[in-house]
Amino acid sequence: MKRLLFLLLVLCISCTNNDPIKFALAADSDKIQRVMKNLEAYEVQIMVTDANGDEFKFQVDDSNYFYPASSVKLPVALLALETANNYDDFDSRTMFQVEGDSVQTNIRREITKIFAVSDNDAYNRLFELMGQFEINTRLIYNKKLTPVRISHRVGTTNAAALKTKPVTILKNDTAQFKRIVIKSSPIKSLELNRIQKGKGFYRNDTLVSKPMDFSKKNYLPIATLHQLMHRLHHPEKYNPKVLFELSESDRNFLLEAMHKTPKQQGFTDPEYYDSYVKFFMFGDSKEPMPEHIKIYNKVGYAYGYLTDCAHIIDTKNDVSFTITATIHVNKNQIFNDDTYEYDEIGIPFLAELGRQVHQFYLNKKQQK
């Protein structure tokens, strides 16, 4: 019996030595272990891909729905840059204005806001520029990214309107042409597990005592989001036909926008500390991030769901990996009450997860 236990222990240690996720989840950290004690409630899913392309998964299941929140801004930003690259009279610096919006802007300005502070209005402007039908058609049929569905805007009234607003393209402050209104097909309900969530939700300050229906919400599962990030940073591993067609200038701009801190991109309000929208490794600290750690990422947080998808490069130790994870923190199972355990449980878990995976690869480097 003792020999059997010893062999099981050796096997367990061997697994953690070869799998970054198992290594991280076995860490002697309350930030990790309090989540591990109730995995069903927290709906944890994790993916990691190392520099060699080896892939590791934990509870990843595309059929188990989670709300992707602002993580959908990543594919929309990429599509917007590609759109700018496909027209002779329009590029990522060309000014445009959405009807009813007082802001005149361009694609680069909006993408900067998306990655620096996860600005909802910026995403919505790019959504109006392309429309639901074009966004989904290009992701699914051109880029072969499935499953995915981006059906609505975020943080605004009438978010799921099927018609886009007219967009005026400007040159030298003068209207050049107006993009026609685009109408998409009605949103169909998703047929997935866990699409009805919780035991109640608030609607106009009134508690509705039944599960909240997410069947017509955006859908961007871990596997799709993770592959999108990996394609961006390891294009050599993919068929060129499924890569986003970006100019070298736009690609360099995008990568800078993805990893720079809010302050480095002009957002000086004290609430925008270095890791404001970077959960992995540093999300539970407001201290300055070390310069040798570059985190190219997009987070999402809403309805108690926290998601981060990142490519992390440690230039000092020559370590890099892609990591994506989601966790749900909604103890009372009521939605729209603004009572979620983001700071107490969710962000600390993701921060420690990132640190432990980073440590796993540091250990491997030292063993060589």
pLDDT averaged per 10 residues, the chain (length 368): 39 67 98 96 98 97 98 98 85 94 96 98 97 96 96 94 93 75 92 97 96 98 98 95 94 97 95 97 97 98 98 97 98 97 98 98 90
**Cβ within 8 Å of residue 246, ≥6 positions away:** 78, 81, 82, 85, 254
Q: So where are the chain's domains?
A: 28-367
Per-residue pLDDT, 17:
77
Q: Which helix (H) or strand (E) holds 296?
A: strand 293-302
Write down the pLDDT at residue 6: 34
Q: What integer pLDDT is reported at residue 31 of this predicted model? A: 98
Pick the CATH number of 28-367 from 3.60.40.10, 3.10.20.740, 3.40.50.1980, 3.40.710.10: 3.40.710.10
Structure-token pair, residue 279: 């959960």
Distance CA 260, CA 124 (A): 22
| CA 272 – CA 277 distance, rounded (Å) | 9
Residue 5 is predicted with a pLDDT of: 37
Query: Helices 107-117 and 248-259: crossing angle, nearest 10°?
Result: 30
Phi and psi dihedrals of 44, rounded to 5? Answer: -70, 135
